[in-house]
Structure 1
């Protein structure tokens, strides 16, 4: 007898827009074979579902009458056990969900995951790993916002987490690790980089490339980029903002004259493919690595496509037994 697959718990009223993109994305994921539990106010969720035909789809609702808003403090998760993100992470903790996904308050999601699930052994601080489109496909960068001030040892831990993630979920067998700095030379960088470099070099279980510069991130010089969360978040937001501005310039150029408009018809398909690679919704959500459970954090402005892809990514990580592999790799890692 085949066991019923665990659902992905979705914080279904969170985000800038609320229920609509979450419910639509959940339905798309369910049609692709992913079981989903919508977590949030039962009345609002059933009202949102009423306009869709979900007959036969693996979608359930878990009531959570409270919601931590985008303008509230992340620390509010401590005293609000019925908040939807707390209910979602609790479902993971209790073994009733494979992963928690939220496009809501990122700080609250991190706090809830850490408080409810705890840390994996050998991890001092969890980190957010995000996918970055590069000239070679995509790369992984962490931390991108969970930890502004870090210790050098954290970067080694995160490199191990990312290495296992790429091997298990993305089938990259020996991913390279780059340390983000202001120069390729070993002696360049701030105090954190100068301390972290020899630690990463000495970690025999890592394929450490060395220092990389900002331009190397989008070139895909290494599969993994490690940095502190302050720097990583700035790099991520800069890349996203530059992509929007660049496509705005292209749009202006291709609509400036009748001749340009005719040319736009010829390149429309190619440009759509490029836009798709640069669109954050293509990657769905970023994983919080280092907690004892699977938790994914998406953009508050994410659309139904982003929700669907986040749920698919969470499902794939669970199917690949990522959490068990992370635990095993960390326990076997040499001390630093």
Structure 2
């Protein structure tokens, strides 16, 4: 297996990226890690000569404020572009980056390419389920702002494929995010999507699910349009951060007794934070392309990088992309 890594993408690059790769290389010594970026900067964080780590030098990188498509087309020697090009050329099997999300989506679509038969690849992330380690897959998280019902049906199939092959769920329950569980609820988009999903025999569709229930494990896969999915994702992130902030403020404002109580609850509070952290499941996958294209959070640390690499390893080992090709690409006629 060969993974192309955009070593210069993210707030803490290249240190967090390189240190994460070093952690993962201990678990996966047979994976070849191709680090694209400034060699002198990358070498600062390599502890010793790693035979399975290869540096491909480039001085150019895509910044967080670059316009995505323009950056991909103009910065031909950027670390992200070269990594994506390696996948297209068959020199690497997957790419991941903590850099500019829009640029990585553009690189995935324009360079790696989508699987024939999939109109709109979706951005998928595994989210936490309260009180469980299983999680659920949510897509689309913003790869496409506008969708047709047919796109959401494909998201249901894509999400089900991912849950089966990568997370090992035999019969994933697929739910449609809506403002009510009744069949008649929702917009014209969700009503038509409900009808089409009900007729899709390749998935286990359980009907509409509400946003307030998705963190309880009501479904293994939740599908929605990209605009709504991105809003839901950011609402979950914001709620988690604000709850932690509110708890800290309450403790600091409650005097000595509160601080003693917080000390006693330290482990429980840490467990709460960890349970709400979806980075423990890996990165967000632009699913429906000819190879795994995975995005980690810009502020990610080494542990999250290593987790993402484990996720990519599972995707490659399970050959989930090959299964998608078999499902969607039209068969050639002899």
Settle same-fold status: TM greater than 0.5: yes
Query: Does 235-244 or 129-138 show the bigger shift?
Result: 129-138
Q: Distance in 1 between matches of 2:256 and 2:18?
A: 41
Note if contact 2:183-2:194 (Cα within 8 Å) is conserved in structure 1.
yes
- Structure-1 residue corresponding to 2:55: 61
Q: Deviations over 1:78-131 (max 9, x none)?
A: 233212111111111222222100110111101111111211122001110011
- Structure-1 residue corresponding to 2:84: 89
Deviation at 1:303, TM superposition (A): 1.6
Q: Distance in 1 between matches of 2:193 and 2:76?
A: 38
- Structure-2 residue corresponding to 1:210: 207
- Structure-2 residue corresponding to 1:38: 35
Q: Is 1:266 the counterpart of 2:253 in the alignment?
A: no
Structural mapping, 1:214-233, within 5 Å: 214-233=211-230
Note if contact 2:2-2:32 (Cα within 8 Å) is conserved in structure 1.
yes
Note if contact 2:115-2:329 (Cα within 8 Å) is conserved in structure 1.
no
Note if contact 1:119-1:126 (Cα within 8 Å) is conserved in structure 2.
yes
Structure 2, unaligned runs of 5 or more:
none
Q: Distance in 2 between matches of 1:236 and 1:245?
A: 14
Note if contact 2:15-2:42 (Cα within 8 Å) is conserved in structure 1.
no
Structural mapping, 1:1-336, within 5 Å: 6-33=1-28, 34-46=31-43, 48-49=44-45, 52-56=46-50, 58-76=52-70, 77-135=72-130, 136-137=132-133, 138-255=135-252, 256-331=254-329
Q: Deviations over 1:128-169 (max 9, x none)?
A: 001111124311100001000011100111111111111111
Note if contact 1:281-1:303 (Cα within 8 Å) is conserved in structure 2.
no
Q: Distance in 1 between matches of 2:51 and 2:112?
A: 29
Note if contact 1:11-1:102 (Cα within 8 Å) is conserved in structure 2.
yes
RMSD: 1.8
Query: Does 279-288 or 120-129 show the bigger shift?
Result: 279-288
Note if contact 2:116-2:330 (Cα within 8 Å) is conserved in structure 1.
no
Q: Distance in 2 between matches of 1:195 and 1:230?
A: 18
Q: Distance in 1 between matches of 2:294 and 2:124?
A: 9
Q: Distance in 2 between matches of 1:186 and 1:240?
A: 29
Q: Using structure 2 for the length normalisation, give the TM-score.
A: 0.92
Structure 1 residues 23 and 142, CA gap change in structure 2 (3 angstroms): same
**Between Structure 1 and Structure 2, how many residues are aligned?**
325
Q: Distance in 1 between matches of 2:102 and 2:242?
A: 27
Structure 1, unaligned runs of 5 or more:
1-5
Deviation at 1:45, TM superposition (A): 2.0
Query: Does 100-109 or 83-92 show the bigger shift?
Result: 83-92
State the secondary structure of the residue aligned to 1:308: helix
Q: Deviations over 1:38-67 (max 9, x none)?
A: 111223323x33xx4233452111123321
Q: Distance in 1 between matches of 2:56 and 2:282?
A: 22
Structure 1 residues 35 and 277, CA gap change in structure 2 (3 angstroms): farther
State the secondary structure of the residue aligned to 1:187: coil
